[in-house]
Amino acid sequence: MRIQRLNKVSMKNLQEHLLKRNPSQYQEYEKVVFQILNHVKENGDEAILTYTEKFDGVKLYADQLLVSEKEKFEAYEDVSKELLMVMRRALVNIREFHQKQKQNSWFDTNKNGGIVGQRVTPINRVGVYVPGGRAAYPSSVLMNVVPAKIAGVKEIIMVTPPNKEGKIDSATLVAAKEAGVDKIYKVGGAQGIGAMAYGTETIPKVDKIVGPGNIYVALSKKAVYGLVSIDSIAGPSEILILADGDANPTYVAADLLSQAEHDELASSILITTCEKLAENVNKELERFLSRGIFLEPCDCSVDTQASEECTCYEQKSTTLSRREIIKKSLDNYGYIFIAEELEQAIEAANEIASEHLEIMTKNPFEVMTKIQNAGAIFLGDYSSEPLGDYFAGPNHVLPTNGTAKFFSPLSVDDFIKKTSIIAYSKEALSEVREDVEKFAHAEQLTAHANAIKVRFD
């Protein structure tokens, strides 16, 4: 990874470079997306089946789009008991965390005797998009479905692309069943978003669409926003690590790699006050990429963290499964910045507003109090970002591309509506009628004023 001094120029160049990954910058895809969406809007299932054959390589019929109970049962037979138990333990943590976010309706009597309040109700039907293709993401299913269930959403449907045999990944199906998805459909891409936004003969229209996807999915969600609600237009994944000289370079390097393997556009950034750490992290990155990762502890006498002499690497290590993606990601969007002092590093972190922020400093909790902008914050050596992706409980659907300055992680709040309640008696209204009428006249809205006045004439 490139090592640079942190200053105003390097920060400006970084932000401009990172913004190129924003889905809104890919206008050349929008024409294709609009064509797909319009085709789905006008032709429903026929369009869905055409695009499924074209893009997913499988010919399906309308009655095959809905995943059957038999397919769900068979998925359980394909998933190991160990993975199933891991999912269930993760679900406990995710539910417990999101349960604390639940809001209740409230009512209050104001000083004039009128009643005001807020009624909280769940969204009626939510659609969850789950990516397929090169990888399966059962964790994404759990994170998107659990807060919707806790909010009380009446119906949750899910769409995900099938493979060339017309099947859905077994782990994804099991996660959906465990989390409580009501119906699952074999459709992906822009056509899947269109199906949920407009509705087809087979797939019902939803009120909100959530879930990650590729550039076509992101732009499709952007296009249908307004007709339905969406969670966000997510960009590629990103991590920023704040570290001082106390940080372990192996841990830092491993966590940078964990984000780089998501996507060639993923961004991995280290900001440190220690030049030696920067150099050691780079060495560790090169070691991981060239010699692999340990599957189990090495028992030889050589200090393998810093030496090339270990003789048991071949038996104890394996190559990174997405090595080429990692290399491209680090080459394109990997940075190591050296800050003059910790305050400068913190200021830069707030400006970047990263999706994932790890703080590996001597006093991480103290540094955390100075962070204003981040999707999720991970404190200390043993709060590695993958812990948040899979198991800790907080949602892993997070704001990207600097939007942590004004967006929050996916939560129960995303699946509820708040309705204001007003109930005034004649006596209560009489106390404020003059104020209301004067406001209305000030805005030259005489019918507004009259609607109050007639109640007392």
Domains and CATH numbers, the chain: 2-22+236-392 (3.40.50.1980), 26-230 (3.40.50.1980), 425-453 (no CATH)
> Tokens representing 427?
């006596």
What's the farthest any 2 CA atoms get from each other in the chain? 97
Compute the distance between CA of residue 155 and CA of residue 177 in angstroms, rounded to an integer: 13
Mean pLDDT to the nearest integer, 226-239: 91
Please say if the pLDDT value at position 162 is more than 80.
yes
> Tokens representing 235?
């960009």
Distances (CA, A) of 16 to 11, 29, 352: 9, 21, 11
Confidence band (pLDDT; 50, 70, 90) for 319?
confident
Smallest CA-to-CA distance from 66 within 159, 163, 185 is with 185
Active site residue 17: no
Cβ–Cβ < 8 Å for 425, 113: yes
pLDDT at 233: 86
Report the range of poorest mean pLDDT among 68-72, 319-323, 329-333: 319-323
Rg of the chain over CA atoms, in angstroms?
A: 26
Task: Catalytic residue, from 261, 264, 355, 437: name it.
Answer: 355
Task: Catalytic residue, from 39, 98, 356, 396: name it.
Answer: 356
Please say if the pLDDT value at position 3 is more than 60.
yes
Report the range of poorest mean pLDDT among 37-51, 115-129, 134-148, 196-210: 134-148
> Tokens representing 10?
């390097």
- Taking only the tens place, the pLDDT of each residue in 368-420 is 999 999 999 999 999 999 999 999 999 999 999 899 999 999 999 999 999 99
pLDDT at 314: 46
Confidence band (pLDDT; 50, 70, 90) for 306?
very low
DSSP 273: S
Active site residue 286: no
pLDDT at 136: 80
Confidence band (pLDDT; 50, 70, 90) for 110?
confident
Cβ–Cβ < 8 Å for 219, 33: yes
What number of CA atoms fall less than 13 Å from residue 59's CA on the CB side? 0
pLDDT at 186: 97
Smallest CA-to-CA distance from 396 within 23, 141, 24 is with 141
Please say if the pLDDT value at position 307 is more than 50.
no
Compute the distance between CA of residue 128 and CA of residue 141 in angstroms, rounded to an integer: 8
Please say if the pLDDT value at position 313 is more than 90.
no
Question: What value does the mean pLDDT of the chain take?
Answer: 92
What single letter denotes the amino acid at residue 443?
A: E
> Tokens representing 36?
């797909």
